[in-house]
Structure 1
Amino acid sequence: MTQPKAYRAAILHSLGDPAQVGLEASHAYYPDGVLVVADGRVRDIGPADEVLARQPAGLDITRFENRLITSGFIDTHIHFPQTEMIASYGEQLLDWLNNYTFPEERKFVDQAHGARVAELFLDELLRNGTTTAMVFGTVHKASVDAFFTASHARNMRMIAGKVMMDRHAPDYLLDTPESGYADSKELIERWHKKGRQLYAVTPRFAPTSTAEQLALAGKLLAEYDDVYMQTHLSENQQEIEWVKSLFPEQKGYLDVYDHFGLLGDRSVFAHAVHLEQEEAARMGETDSVISFCPTSNLFLGSGLFDLPGAEQRGIRVGLGTDVGAGTSFSMLQTINEAYKIQQLRRHKLHPLKALYLATLGGARSLRLEDKVGNLAVGKEADFLVLDLHATPLMQARMNNAHNLFEQLFVLMMLGDDRAIAQTYIYGECRYRRDH
Structure 2
Amino acid sequence: MQDTPQVQAYRASLLHFHADPAQTEEAAAYHADGLLLVADGKVVAAGDFAALAPTLAPGTVVHNYQGKLITPGFIDTHVHYPQTDMIASPAPGLLPWLDTYTFPTERRFADPVHARTVAEAFLDELLRNGTTTAMVYCTVHPESVDAFFAAAAARNLRMVAGKVLMDRHSPDFLRDTAEQGARESEALIQRWHKQGRALYAITPRFAPTSTPEQLALAGELARAYPDTFLQTHVSENQDECAWVRQLYPQASSYLDVYDRVGMLRPRAMYGHCIWLSEDDRARMAASGAAAAVCPTSNLFLGSGLFDFARADASGMRLSLATDVGGGTSFSMLQTMNEAYKVARLGGSYLPALRMFYLATLGAARAMQLEGTIGSFAAGAEADFIVLDPRATPLLARRTAHSASLEELLFALALLGDDRCVAATYVAGRPA
Please give the range of the TM-score, normalised by the shorter of the 2 chains.
Answer: over 0.9
Query: How far apart are the structure 2 equivalents of 1:422 and 1:69?
Result: 9
Shift in Å, 1:278: 1.6
Instruction: Name the residue aligned to 1:150.
Output: 151
Instruction: Name the residue aligned to 1:168.
Output: 169
| Equivalent position SS for 1:251 | coil
The residue type paired with residue 154 of structure 2 is A
Query: How far apart are the structure 2 equivalents of 1:366 and 1:273?
Result: 19
Instruction: Name the residue aligned to 1:21.
Output: 24
1:2 aligns with 2:1: no
1:271 aligns with 2:279: no
Shift in Å, 1:425: 0.4
Residues 112-191 of structure 1 correspond to what in structure 2 (within 5 A)? 112-191=113-192
Shift in Å, 1:345: 1.0
Query: How far apart are the structure 2 equivalents of 1:308 and 1:384?
Result: 30
Instruction: Name the residue aligned to 1:330.
Output: 331
Contact 2:33 2:66 (C-alpha < 8 Å) held by counterparts:
no
Query: How far apart are the structure 1 equivalents of 2:187 and 2:22?
Result: 41
| Equivalent position SS for 2:402 | coil
Superposed CA deviations along residues 295-339 of structure 1, whole A, max 9, x for unmatched, are 000000000001121121111011110000000000000000000
Query: How far apart are the structure 2 equivalents of 1:151 and 1:426?
Result: 13
Contact 1:295 1:326 (C-alpha < 8 Å) held by counterparts:
yes
Give the length in aligned residue pairs.
428
Shift in Å, 1:28: 1.0
Residues 359-370 of structure 1 correspond to what in structure 2 (within 5 A)? 359-370=360-371
Shift in Å, 1:65: 3.3
The residue type paired with residue 106 of structure 2 is E
Query: How far apart are the structure 1 equivalents of 2:89 and 2:297?
Result: 12
Shift in Å, 1:11: 1.0
Superposed CA deviations along residues 116-154 of structure 1, whole A, max 9, x for unmatched, are 000000000000000010000000000000000000111
| Equivalent position SS for 2:425 | strand
Superposed CA deviations along residues 358-398 of structure 1, whole A, max 9, x for unmatched, are 10000000011120111121111000011111011111111
Instruction: Name the residue aligned to 1:433.
Output: none
Query: How far apart are the structure 1 equivalents of 2:186 and 2:288?
Result: 25
Identify which of 9, 14, 25 aligns with 1:11. Answer: 14
| Equivalent position SS for 1:18 | coil
Instruction: Name the residue aligned to 1:246.
Output: 247
Give unmatched runs, 5+ long, in structure 2.
none
Shift in Å, 1:56: 1.6
Instruction: Name the residue aligned to 1:60.
Output: 61
Superposed CA deviations along residues 155-185 of structure 1, whole A, max 9, x for unmatched, are 1100000000000000000000111001000
Shift in Å, 1:66: 2.1
Query: How far apart are the structure 1 equivalents of 2:67 and 2:427?
Result: 24
The residue type paired with residue 56 of structure 2 is Q
The residue type paired with residue 255 of structure 1 is D
Contact 1:26 1:352 (C-alpha < 8 Å) held by counterparts:
no
Shift in Å, 1:10: 1.0
Query: How far apart are the structure 1 equivalents of 2:51 and 2:278?
Result: 50
1:381 aligns with 2:378: no
1:40 aligns with 2:9: no
Contact 2:308 2:343 (C-alpha < 8 Å) held by counterparts:
yes
Shift in Å, 1:225: 0.9
Instruction: Name the residue aligned to 1:404.
Output: 405
Q: Which moved more, 1:398-407 or 1:334-343?
A: 398-407
Query: How far apart are the structure 2 equivalents of 1:189 and 1:29?
Result: 41
Query: How far apart are the structure 1 equivalents of 2:183 and 2:211?
Result: 16
- So what's the TM-score if we normalise by structure 2? 0.98
Shift in Å, 1:55: 1.8
The residue type paired with residue 18 of structure 1 is P
RMSD: 0.8
Instruction: Name the residue aligned to 1:77.
Output: 78
The residue type paired with residue 16 of structure 1 is A
1:197 aligns with 2:198: yes
Query: How far apart are the structure 2 equivalents of 1:231 and 1:404?
Result: 36
Contact 1:139 1:174 (C-alpha < 8 Å) held by counterparts:
yes
Instruction: Name the residue aligned to 1:393.
Output: 394
Q: Which moved more, 1:310-319 or 1:225-234?
A: 310-319
- So what's the TM-score if we normalise by structure 1? 0.97
Shift in Å, 1:245: 0.3
Q: Which moved more, 1:360-369 or 1:279-288?
A: 279-288
Shift in Å, 1:193: 0.3
The residue type paired with residue 423 of structure 2 is Q
Query: How far apart are the structure 2 equivalents of 1:402 and 1:247?
Result: 54
Residues 191-230 of structure 1 correspond to what in structure 2 (within 5 A)? 191-230=192-231
Report sequence identity in percent: 55
Query: How far apart are the structure 2 equivalents of 1:362 and 1:33?
Result: 24
| Equivalent position SS for 1:19 | coil
Superposed CA deviations along residues 245-272 of structure 1, whole A, max 9, x for unmatched, are 0011111211110111110011111001
Shift in Å, 1:415: 0.6
The residue type paired with residue 219 of structure 1 is E
The residue type paired with residue 15 of structure 1 is H
The residue type paired with residue 107 of structure 2 is R
The residue type paired with residue 397 of structure 2 is A
1:108 aligns with 2:109: yes
Superposed CA deviations along residues 379-422 of structure 1, whole A, max 9, x for unmatched, are 11000011111011111111121121111100001110000000
